[in-house]
Chains A and B, each alone.
Chain A
């Protein structure tokens, strides 16, 4: 009997979830049913209250003794904090993600041992030393106003609390033992759900002499194949596959083969299907592309110091090596740039990240020996690395959508309050975290960087009816970034006064009185920045870096908002994740159309047939068409302008995706040159669309095509085939 009820409920959930397009309210219906199912499942193991859930997970060996003791000592107070009705804030996709991936499960039965609110409170308790602290963080999380990154959600309070999202490893030294040592480090870091960025710039290029054996090197590709296999072998606790991004500086002589690593044609022995690729691009290269000059490619063995230089020092050394004829070969800079663009268009990979902008403005690079050699897996972290130090970052993101006041803009006080709490708890993760390698621990304790980001910017724009490319959107987005930076820095200064500066504070630009926005003309002129600068001069800072805008793919799903700073990709789309496929519909658009009596089956079919675009759908008013453009329909220049305007307040970087439905080399080369000139430090994926698509099955078929006569067809081919409507 129970089994039948459960099966019926599961079916009802799936039905409701699949009908979210007809009415987005179905998402909450499905979520509520799922919450019941979760509660029943947990009850099967005797879990009803928070303290029971921690007792059960502790008995199953999943959480720390100290957490179990803390919860047992404060059981009544903590049980009163956990509020199941907060589950009502979840959309179905969010709750489903929590259920499938985050709730702790019994090792044998695989049944969940905690409810969603138990999970959030457990995460909060894992980072707290008092009930009041736990209540403060839980309050933010249960209102979905702030969420720490996935590793912290996975592991807070766990027996191995690996809380960090990102690890950045310097290139292995150019020797066999160093390379194999790096594989081991990557595997250990990957195992505990960290994303890996690793440079390979120091490793000699193809054809280079190997003195020990008098043979010639096969270059970096075979090494990266091994890395590829190693990364794929590491399964992050069954939750997701390992993932890594390899960075290569643009002057490395193997750069062309590097750019082909993700192609799905050609010799498979020279392909890496699991690695992501990023270009670490010096300004000198971009200048030569602009001027249409030659570019020299070097074997790092011949120019070992190049990767440790940036700015003028790099330019001088690079040119001197050219004059000495040390290069392996020269090619037109534009030829290589064109290949980089081609890789972006064909694979979305080969991200453009800019070495000089990254180093010039970083708080960590005050001393010449401290150099940023790469960014991370998602291109939002920029921290110095060396053989002895693996950079680490702990992340969390503020949900801007949760800080909207009804129809009246953002609640700035509340936003500042959220940032203060978030920074304190992010700082706390540095001390509580388990570090899989000594190099990671060494770096994190010295620099204490954190990465506070945002999500739900698109929700804010929709709610306030600001098109992404409007001047008011740019103004608001920049103000958000500035407010967050001010509050974060101020909190870090308070923390420094309470608990001391981070140990390498004297090596930072802040110690010399320069804060990140000071690198940008006019960005820190207000009295608030003057006051902050004066405060920092006496207190110092607890954290060397504080702001980074991560992609937030999973936590934005949990929070039910749009990802980080991204525009929507479609008004109707499907999310593919490890736990299945889920329909998402733009609920702001639906509400607007419902209010105007336009949300009909015919309208839904028309929007689906148009792939989630409303631009050519008859009957949609122009104001809505402008507001509800998708990422494919917005000028990408606007996304870059928004990113550039907030860059002064982002002391690390931003995971900035760019979108182009049908990329060409011409459009891409113009776009990325503009991004570089705008002062962006990094860019992320280039997203494009498949050339053909699946036939739609659930939309009423469009009837047989209007007849095209042979004469029309001939005319069409002879004139301009690209704009001929008879063929479209």
Chain B
């Protein structure tokens, strides 16, 4: 079973080909930070209101450390316990992607904050800015929750692991990051910060995959050990999401202050509740809030992109392509 302790090395026969396919799909989507042009954003930043600047600075400060935290949990907890080599291939790839995201946000910070002291402050936000510190502490608490576990022997230990996995997928990648992306797309909907939005599209694509991978691990464990998924686990997951929504809402209040046209803490609350419900549904749990999505501009993220190449780099290409020259295939 997937959570049985050990370091399985057998790839044939492959137990979980879906994980392997996810690994291959992720490789086809390789992108590099150098492809993103952030300098076009500087003119937009110069035009912003103090309130908008505050929002952006806080957001950058959150991004500065967010992906590093996810990478740490991946190394310290996930890789150890998900016992299938094809799943570990995916996690290795995910680790690389987290590194690219860290590099992207570092580049963003260096570009947006030309003053070295400001950069230091942004990284220190995790200690000094309460709304960011609280989110980080939430993450660290869940990293630590299973850090002492070397082997998942008992059902309870496995449930503890599942809670960690679900926390990082549904609450951190699937809620904290989703909240942060929504601010970026709000700017984008007003024609601002196109460079950040381009990079965010690609980060968003990766994060979506990470979350789906984690959920498919959950699906697999559910199929193998349905008894782990008792009511208590469901209650714990719901409570955890409630806590995450509260933490992200506090962050939103800090970012939005009294609100701006089209973006306020109240709207963000609705959005977070809406997203949290989606995570619960995906996990087979009842919805908690029943709130509708308030952000029409997020509809834009759900559909195919068609860029005018004069204007923007197209992010829709794949990296690995296979096959040989022939003349008789249909097209």
Q: Which residues of A contact B (CB under 8 A)?
A: 7, 10-11, 14-15, 17-19, 21, 100, 195, 240-241, 243, 264-265, 268, 273, 276, 289-290, 334, 337-338, 341-342, 345-348, 553-554, 569-570, 572-583, 608, 611-612, 635-637, 660, 662-671, 673-674, 685, 687-705, 707-710, 713-714, 716-718, 721, 724, 727
Assembled-state Cα–Cα distance A483/B84 (Å): 65
Distance in Å: Cβ of A241 to nearest Cβ of chain B: 7
B216 touches A721 (CB 8 A): no
Distance in Å: Cβ of A184 to nearest Cβ of chain B: 22
Assembled-state Cα–Cα distance A289/B324 (Å): 12
Question: Which listed residue, B284, B296, B310, B312, touches A15 by the CB 8 Å rule?
Answer: B296
Instruction: Tell me which of B67-75, B204-212, B235-243 binds A.
Output: B204-212
B205 CB contacts on chain A under 8 angstroms:
690, 692-694
Closest to B292 in A: A698
- Which residues, 306 to 331 on B, are CB-close (under 8 Å) to A? 306-319, 321-331
Cβ contacts B9-29/A at 8 Å (1 or 0 each): 000011111100100111111
Closest to B331 in A: A671
Assembled-state Cα–Cα distance A697/B303 (Å): 10
Assembled-state Cα–Cα distance A694/B189 (Å): 17
Assembled-state Cα–Cα distance A581/B34 (Å): 22
Assembled-state Cα–Cα distance A693/B35 (Å): 18
A707 touches B317 (CB 8 A): no
| B224: Cβ under 8 A from any A Cβ | yes
B190 touches A580 (CB 8 A): yes
Distance in Å: Cβ of A191 to nearest Cβ of chain B: 15
Question: Which listed residue, A100, A264, A573, touches B306 by the CB 8 Å rule?
Answer: A573
B283 CB contacts on chain A under 8 angstroms:
704
Per CB-CB distance, the 9 closest pairs between chain A and chain B, nearest first, are A18-B296, A691-B28, A695-B208, A665-B323, A664-B323, A704-B284, A345-B321, A717-B14, A671-B331
| B222: Cβ under 8 A from any A Cβ | yes
Question: Which listed residue, A554, A668, A688, A710, touches B317 by the CB 8 Å rule?
Answer: A688
Distance in Å: Cβ of B29 to nearest Cβ of chain A: 5
A666 touches B318 (CB 8 A): no
B321 CB contacts on chain A under 8 angstroms:
341-342, 345-346, 663-665
Selected A-B contacts with CB under 8 Å, 16 pairs: A11-B261, A241-B310, A264-B319, A341-B321, A570-B304, A573-B305, A574-B306, A583-B300, A608-B302, A612-B304, A665-B323, A669-B324, A691-B318, A697-B301, A704-B282, A707-B222
- Which residues, 196 to 217 on B, are CB-close (under 8 Å) to A? 197, 201, 204-209, 211-212, 215-216
Distance in Å: Cβ of B102 to nearest Cβ of chain A: 18
Closest to B315 in A: A690
B35 touches A264 (CB 8 A): yes
Q: A578-B311, A705-B216, A708-B223 are in contact. Are A713 and B18 (CB under 8 A)?
A: yes
B208 touches A694 (CB 8 A): yes
Assembled-state Cα–Cα distance A166/B62 (Å): 45
Assembled-state Cα–Cα distance A68/B218 (Å): 70
A577 touches B312 (CB 8 A): yes
Assembled-state Cα–Cα distance A694/B211 (Å): 10
B32 CB contacts on chain A under 8 angstroms:
264-265
B275 CB contacts on chain A under 8 angstroms:
697
A691 CB contacts on chain B under 8 angstroms:
24-29, 318-319
B297 touches A687 (CB 8 A): no
* Chain A interface main SS type: mixed
Question: Which listed residue, B13, B204, B331, touches A717 by the CB 8 Å rule?
Answer: B13
| B31: Cβ under 8 A from any A Cβ | yes
Distance in Å: Cβ of A354 to nearest Cβ of chain B: 16
B189 CB contacts on chain A under 8 angstroms:
14, 18, 580-581
Distance in Å: Cβ of B289 to nearest Cβ of chain A: 13
B17 touches A695 (CB 8 A): no
A692 touches B25 (CB 8 A): yes
Distance in Å: Cβ of B308 to nearest Cβ of chain A: 4
Distance in Å: Cβ of B219 to nearest Cβ of chain A: 5
Assembled-state Cα–Cα distance A436/B154 (Å): 77
How many residue pairs link A and B with beta carbons under 8 A? The number is 271
| B114: Cβ under 8 A from any A Cβ | no
Closest to B86 in A: A717
Assembled-state Cα–Cα distance A143/B112 (Å): 44
Closest to A710 in B: B224
Assembled-state Cα–Cα distance A129/B321 (Å): 56
Q: A338-B325, A692-B25, A717-B17 are in contact. Are A346 and B309 (CB under 8 A)?
A: no
A341 CB contacts on chain B under 8 angstroms:
321, 325
Interface size on B (CB < 8 Å)? 88
Distance in Å: Cβ of A682 to nearest Cβ of chain B: 16
Assembled-state Cα–Cα distance A310/B219 (Å): 62
B304 touches A574 (CB 8 A): yes
| B54: Cβ under 8 A from any A Cβ | no
Residue with the greatest number of chain B CB neighbours at <10 A, chosen from A10, A243, A576, A707: A576
Assembled-state Cα–Cα distance A664/B29 (Å): 15
| B251: Cβ under 8 A from any A Cβ | no
Assembled-state Cα–Cα distance A579/B219 (Å): 41
A700 CB contacts on chain B under 8 angstroms:
278, 281
A14 touches B302 (CB 8 A): no
Closest to A663 in B: B321
Assembled-state Cα–Cα distance A612/B278 (Å): 21
Assembled-state Cα–Cα distance A718/B329 (Å): 26
Closest to B279 in A: A701
Question: Which listed residue, B206, B261, B282, touches A701 by the CB 8 Å rule?
Answer: B282
A348 touches B15 (CB 8 A): no
Assembled-state Cα–Cα distance A15/B32 (Å): 34
Assembled-state Cα–Cα distance A636/B318 (Å): 19
A241 touches B15 (CB 8 A): no
Residue with the greatest number of chain A CB neighbours at <10 A, chosen from B189, B190, B206, B304: B304
A581 CB contacts on chain B under 8 angstroms:
185, 188-189, 197, 297, 300
Assembled-state Cα–Cα distance A341/B325 (Å): 9
B191 touches A573 (CB 8 A): no
B223 touches A693 (CB 8 A): no
B160 CB contacts on chain A under 8 angstroms:
none
A554 touches B308 (CB 8 A): yes
| B299: Cβ under 8 A from any A Cβ | yes
Assembled-state Cα–Cα distance A166/B290 (Å): 54
B303 touches A11 (CB 8 A): no
B66 CB contacts on chain A under 8 angstroms:
none
Q: A346-B318, A698-B293 are in contact. Are A580 and B14 (CB under 8 A)?
A: no
B304 CB contacts on chain A under 8 angstroms:
569-570, 572-574, 611-612, 689
| B57: Cβ under 8 A from any A Cβ | no
Closest to B192 in A: A580
B303 touches A666 (CB 8 A): no
Question: Which listed residue, A10, A195, A667, touches B329 by the CB 8 Å rule?
Answer: A667
Contacts A674-B331, A687-B316 aside, 7 further interface pairs with beta carbons under 8 A come to: A17-B296, A19-B296, A273-B313, A338-B324, A346-B319, A637-B330, A691-B29
Assembled-state Cα–Cα distance A671/B330 (Å): 8
A660 CB contacts on chain B under 8 angstroms:
331
Question: Which listed residue, B15, B29, B34, B327, touches A673 by the CB 8 Å rule?
Answer: B327
B18 touches A697 (CB 8 A): no
| B30: Cβ under 8 A from any A Cβ | yes
B306 touches A575 (CB 8 A): yes
Q: A690-B205, A694-B204 are in contact. Are A608 and B303 (CB under 8 A)?
A: yes
A699 touches B302 (CB 8 A): yes
Assembled-state Cα–Cα distance A699/B300 (Å): 11
Residue with the greatest number of chain B CB neighbours at <10 A, chosen from A635, A660, A666, A716: A666
Q: A240-B311, A338-B324, A690-B318 are in contact. Are A697 and B298 (CB under 8 A)?
A: yes
| B85: Cβ under 8 A from any A Cβ | no
Assembled-state Cα–Cα distance A569/B304 (Å): 8
A664 CB contacts on chain B under 8 angstroms:
321-323, 329
- Which residues, 42 to 66 on B, are CB-close (under 8 Å) to A? none
A713 CB contacts on chain B under 8 angstroms:
15-18
Distance in Å: Cβ of B189 to nearest Cβ of chain A: 6
| B262: Cβ under 8 A from any A Cβ | yes
Assembled-state Cα–Cα distance A703/B27 (Å): 27
Assembled-state Cα–Cα distance A459/B17 (Å): 43
Assembled-state Cα–Cα distance A668/B27 (Å): 21
